[in-house]
Amino acid sequence: MNRVHSVLLVDDHPGIRHALRDYLARIEGIEVAGEVGRGRDLSSALRKARPDLVVLDLELERGFAPEKAVSQIRSITPDAKIVVYSGHGELPFIERMTDLRVEGYILKTEKMEIVVHALETILAGERWISPAIALLLADAHAAASLTPTERTILQRLADGQSVSQIATELHRSDRSVRGYVSSAVAKMKAKSREQAIADAVRKGHIV
């Protein structure tokens, strides 16, 4: 007989909890062991449900930070996997949670079939994040890997300077500047210098 995995739903919106609960009730191998709408109730719910997986919204009541929720889960049920289920797709929120090494990050815009697939993947021991989030993290990693000189040169190109002007002002050869540009284009996974500049401006890496 296949094992049934218990899941604890943590979200301050009853409608979202109920929708998840009703959908998961139809999925073999998953059982909703409890629901929590307030951070202050989380510790008691964890002790009662002893879940295999916690589906965690980032916004509970004021003053109850998601980091506190993760800390409680790790302390009370250290074997439980944590998946963030949130409407926030902004990089700062994502990085806060990935820094805490949660097992998953699912956007609330995903279809329920995708949510279930993600939960099953996480319960099987793998990590899962929404594709849009994976793309954001990849972009952030690419930007972070740019050296200060590469970033400066992209900025100057965006400002309308030529390679020769940049080379003169930075006391480098034209060939050296072109090398920095080629490196930046590769790191940004762009097809051209123009695309790298446009992507860097659009994503806020340069202005």
Q: Which helix (H) or strand (E) holds 83?
A: strand 81-86
Stronger pLDDT, 151 or 54, i.e. the higher one = 54
CB neighbours of 49 closer than 8 A, spacing ≥ 6? Answer: 6, 8, 33, 34
Give the residues across from 8 on adjacent strands: 34, 54
> Is the pLDDT reported for residue 1 higher than 60?
no
Instruction: pLDDT band for 41, please (50, 70, 90 cuts).
Output: very high
Q: What is the spatial distance between Cα 87 and Cα 56, in angstroms, rounded to a whole number?
A: 11
Does the fold of domain 145-202 match that of domain 5-130?
no
Sheet containing strand 5-10, edge to edge, reads 30-36, 5-10, 53-56, 81-86, 104-107, 128-129
Q: Which CATH class is domain 5-130?
A: alpha beta
- Per residue in 67-78, pLDDT tens? 899 999 999 999
CATH number of 145-202: 1.10.10.10
Domain boundaries, the chain: 5-130, 145-202
Q: So what's the pLDDT on residue 29?
A: 92
> What pTM does this model have?
0.70
